[in-house]
Structure 1
Amino acid sequence: MIRIILFLLTNLSVIFILNIFLKIIGINIGKIYFITIISSILGFSSSLISLLLSKWIALKTINGKIIKTPKNNFENWILNTIKKQAKKVNIKIPQIAIYKSLDINAFATGPSKNNSLIAISYGLIKNMNKEEIEAVLAHEISHISNGDMVTMTLIQGVLNTIVILFSKIITQIFSNNLFNNNKEENINIKENSFLYYIISSFLEFTLGILASIIIMWFSRYREFYADSGSAKIVGCNKMISALKTLQIHHEPKELNNSISNFCINGKSKKIFNLFLSHPSLKKRISALYKKKYF
């Protein structure tokens, strides 16, 4: 709750300061208040809806099945492991799902720390030993404990709002200068013009790219802390071993041009690194050895 309040205050502060600045330079403040309200609604609504539906969307996307009653010893072990780890970090036990995929992967999602889901692939189960799986589960538990899903949503909501707001304001200023007329009746005509929407759409796209860079930076940053959180729960060696196993299985695919392989290997050109959701495995392993984020 504190996290949500702080982000909302940040968002409101930016908008408040912007409104003061625009009033000083003579932009129609009544119009700006209207744009601000619309931008906030549009900016946060999609992010909050996706967060609230995140578990449902994830299960539908991967066609995963939640383990309610363990059918074998392995599923029983997973459930017991999750229970122990959740107890250590003082959160409610997440639901656990297994999905059919040859990819070695796992992720956590959910609207809150006490309403979350961890999904792991068959590929991960097949290629990692129990100690490594334990470390991966602890990594996802750390994401949940750190509130990363909520923080990511709030950051995205704030940035979405700012992108929409700034694109509209800059377009308004550009239109005023282009037509050299600030009368209210002419502003309405300009806003309905094809040129207005072209400029606005271009700015939203451009500013959206810049916002994505910030979001991906935070995504990479949180991975280091999830790794260190896992190390604190199960031990540093187990997390390093899990990352090394992931490295061994994915490095042969580094010549593939897909973005997902860039994310896994961290071998892309520097410009692409700005858009990666995960740091390279080499950097993550190095950070654990150095205990950099502990």
Structure 2
Amino acid sequence: MRRIALFLLTNIAVLLLLSIVCRLLGVDRWAYSHGLGGTTGLLIYAAIFGMGGSFISLAMSKWMAKMSTGARVITEPQNEGERWLVDTVRRHAQAAGIGMPEVAIYDAPEMNAFATGMTKNSSLVAVSTGLLQQMDRDQVSAVLGHEIGHVANGDMVTLTLIQGVLNTLVILAARVVGRAVDSWLSGGRDSRDGGGIGYFVSVMVLQLVFGLFASMIVMAFSRWREFRADTAGANLAGRASMISALQRLQANHGESTLPKTMAAFGISGHLAQGFQRLFMSHPPLDERIAALQRG
């Protein structure tokens, strides 16, 4: 539950921070005074912050991933293992019809890997030292195929678009309802100054509530894309190898060391039960294995 709470807070905190900054800097008041108080103006305002924040995060994703995991990009392979790793990624990338990604290794005990990047031809694929030590090469090849599948499917961009649209709707809906609440509390006063305390508090609370529902939608897409990436890994490295890699991942123990902002991009997710499943970024490994076995 702690991981889920931290993940949600990471996503929702951006919206809350925007709300506070806008209030302190008087952006809401400025929007009203410049005729942006109507629905169209409010939509534009929400889209700038909602979509803008998501695409800034995507543009910085490779840099953030390297910094947060301490990943070392292989520019010149230092041994046969690194050479094999780079060659395997290159082979999968060519088969998938994308540009050669940067290949990196990061120090972590658990078996994991991730892919990120703003475009299909400018991506990063990174694997943990634990994965390289605990999987055979057929299994590692399948994991690399899975990550290349994410890149080829455009999952990072699609996830960003979905998050951006939902952020926009959250900002818009929170402010529309916030105005209604503020108007009711003030007896119908026309809040041309950007609204009173009722507006400010309502917007913050509603962004938190609406943000929770938005996170459920984002996580539902995240789970669906994992099945597609597993299929890509099976096509690139062989179905048996992909199934074997997922079965090996079941031996992972303890919490992932991937930063919370990168958790959804790893090949392995956390386990959850009941209501918590709505906030899982990955389907259970049993379900993923069963989907591959069904063909």
TM-score (norm 2): 0.81
Q: Which has the higher contact order (CA 8 A, sep 6+)?
A: 2
SS of the residue 1:98 aligns to = strand
C-alpha separation between the residues in 1 aligned to 2:272 and 2:94?
Answer: 39
Question: Is 1:154 the counterpart of 2:161 in the alignment?
Answer: yes
Matches within 5 A, 1:131-142: 131-142=138-149
2:118 alignment counterpart: 111
8 A contact 1:108–1:144 mirrored in 2: yes
Alignment of 1:44-63 (within 5 A): 44-63=51-70
Q: How does 1:230-245 map to 2 (within 5 A)?
A: 230-245=233-248
Are residues 107 and 264 of structure 1, via their aligned partners in 2, closer, same or farther at CA, if it must alter by over 3 Å? Answer: closer
In 1, distance between residues paired with 2:252 and 2:172? 44
3-state SS of 1:248 partner = coil
The number of residues matched between the two structures is 252
Matches within 5 A, 1:256-275: 267-275=271-279
CA contact (8 A) 1:217 1:277 kept: yes
2:199 is aligned to 196
- The percentage of aligned residue pairs carrying the same residue is 40
**1:249 match: secondary structure:** coil
Whether 1:215 and 2:236 are equivalent positions in the alignment is no
1:170 matches 2:177: yes
Asked whether the equivalents of residues 128 and 242 of structure 1 are also in contact (C-alpha less than 8 Å), the reply is yes
Equivalent position to 1:247, from 250, 253, 256: 250
Question: Which residue matches 1:279?
Answer: 283
State the alpha-carbon separation in 2 of the partners of residues 228 and 80 from structure 1.
21
SS of the residue corresponding to residue 115 of structure 2 reads: strand
- Could you tell me the TM-score, scaled by structure 1's length? 0.81
Deviation at 1:171? 1.1
Question: Aligned equivalents of 1:268 and 1:55: distance in 2?
Answer: 28
Q: Over aligned residue pairs, what C-alpha RMSD do you find?
A: 2.0
| Residue deviations 1:268-294 (CA, integer Å, cap 9, x gap) | 221000001000000000000012xxx
* Alpha-carbon contact 2:182-2:196 (below 8 Å) kept: no
CA drift of 1:138 comes to 0.2
Q: 1:192 Cα shift? A: 3.6
CA distance in structure 2 between the aligned counterparts of 1:226 and 1:264, rounded to whole angstroms: 12
Q: CA deviation at 1:147?
A: 0.2
- Does structure 1 retain, via aligned residues, the 8 Å contact 2:269–2:281? no
Runs of 5+ unmatched residues, structure 2:
1-34
Partner of 2:89: 82
- Output one character per residue of 1:67-100: Cα deviation in whole Å (capped at 9) or x when no partner: 0111100111111111111111111111100011
CA distance in 2, matches of 1:269, 1:56: 34
Helix, strand or coil: the match of 2:214?
helix
Shift of 1:136: 0.2
